[in-house]
Amino acid sequence: MNTSLAAYRSLFPHIQTGKLWLNHAAIGPLNSRTKSAVDKYLTNRTEGTIDDFPQIVQISDRAKKEIGILMNASADRIGFVNNTSDGLNIIANGLPWSSGDRIVLNDSEFPANVVPFLNLRRLGVEIDFIKSRNGEITLDDITAAITPRTRLLSISFVQFLSGFRSDLTAIGALCKRHGIIFCVDAIQGIGSTPIDVKTSQVDFLSCGGHKWMLSMMGLGFVYVSEEMQSRITQQFVGWTSNKLYFSELFNYRLDLDLTARRYENGAQNNAGIAAIGESAALLNEVGIPSIHSHLLDLTDAVISFADEKGIELLTPRSRDKRSGIVTLKVPNAEQIFEGLNSKNIIVSLREGKIRLSPHFYNSLDDIKTVCASITNLMQ
């Protein structure tokens, strides 16, 4: 394991309990730095100023800056939401749809990136589902799904089950050529895999913080390009959506902020903001390119193990199509899953398959341990 990465293992207390966590695609453990940031915030709410407004403005600004660095976005293009689905509902419900408009999705998405758009069927919007090929979605199939009535394409940066990494740059260019809105569910990619929303020409992105971002549930964020923001009619607003919302309180008005803060409709999960800001800072310190390279090395080892044991993969073999997820089509998957849990080795059981999702602090020895345990359980 890279020495610089190994130094970060001490930040993850669960390791000392004997727990081997390879389940970041489900939920990531909090590290000690993130916990300290939350503790500091809660201490202030408990026995400090208690009114946390001055502090949380600074904490929020810092968090947006760090999140922006992760995807090459300016802080003013980022707004906090409760979760990925809440974020996607902003765009799903904010556009002027007409009966017969079409949206392109695919059949391997997590429901969070499907249900908000299915809800538009009530307005006569049609959904075109691309059929994935062993967990992959090809650019040719995306191109073939586009019609003159296609208005929006939404796709996961990384697919939750197969770990397939979409070529966002190619998809973004395709969408721009056809005048289609490009929306991304980034929850399985940001924190583990490089992304540049400007190069990829992403119009709208939504992401929760509790997986690869190593933060808390109940706090996520959206990225909205300036052009896309101008096209969205906000369906939900609150007093903090306005400019200078703490001035002239009796001047009842709708004067939406020029930044993506307009999507923050009132009191927020401030402890979650403290957490995600610290976690994002940690990930930036380690460096997403280094994290991604390390994860590809770890997933290479899992793939080599699968080949050796004759286990079929759902995950692409090509490194340029992978992230931090490897999914194995093992026989008796539920039994193996339960056996790993009994050994304090935590993975996911999804759709009858075993999904492994290590992060940057996991080592090659961690991978050898889980592979040896799977071997024993298969006998």
CATH number at 196 reads 3.40.640.10
Based on the fold, state whether residues 298 and 217 are members of the same structural domain: no
Comparing CA positions, the residue from 324, 307, 305 lying closest to residue 372 is 305
Q: Tell me the residue range of the domain where 216 lies.
A: 38-285
| Alpha helix (H) residue ranges in 310-379 | 333-342, 364-378
Give Dmax (Cα) for the chain. 72
Comparing CA positions, the residue from 5, 74, 48, 2 lying closest to residue 286 is 5
Based on the fold, state whether residues 295 and 280 are members of the same structural domain: no
Identify whether the C-beta of residue 328 lies closer than 8 Å to the C-beta of residue 371. Answer: no
Torsion of CA 186, 88, 144, 226, to 10 degrees: -80
Identify whether the C-beta of residue 235 lies closer than 8 Å to the C-beta of residue 94. Answer: yes
Based on the fold, state whether residues 183 and 66 are members of the same structural domain: yes
Task: Identify the three-state secondary structure at position 173.
Answer: helix
pTM attached to this predicted model: 0.96
Based on the fold, state whether residues 361 and 340 are members of the same structural domain: yes
Based on the fold, state whether residues 249 and 346 are members of the same structural domain: no
234 domain residue, yes or no: yes
Tokens linked to 273:
């903001």
Based on the fold, state whether residues 311 and 254 are members of the same structural domain: no
Based on the fold, state whether residues 267 and 297 are members of the same structural domain: no
- DSSP conformation class of 206: E
Helix (H) or strand (E) holding 280: helix 270-286
Task: Identify the three-state secondary structure at position 226.
Answer: helix
Backbone phi, psi, residue 349, to 5°: -110, 110
* Domain termination site, one of 226, 261, 285: 285
61 domain residue, yes or no: yes
Provide the residue-wise pLDDT of the chain in tens; the chain has 379 residues. 676 888 999 999 999 999 999 999 999 999 999 999 999 999 999 999 999 888 999 999 999 999 999 999 999 999 999 999 999 999 999 999 999 999 999 999 999 999 999 999 999 999 999 999 989 999 999 999 999 999 999 999 999 999 999 999 999 999 999 999 999 999 999 999 999 999 999 999 999 999 999 999 999 999 999 999 999 999 999 999 999 999 999 999 999 999 999 999 999 999 999 999 999 999 999 999 999 999 999 999 999 999 999 999 999 999 999 999 999 999 999 999 999 999 999 999 999 999 999 999 999 999 999 999 999 999 8
Based on the fold, state whether residues 15 and 45 are members of the same structural domain: no
Q: How many domains does one find in the chain?
A: 2
Identify whether the C-beta of residue 198 lies closer than 8 Å to the C-beta of residue 72. Answer: yes
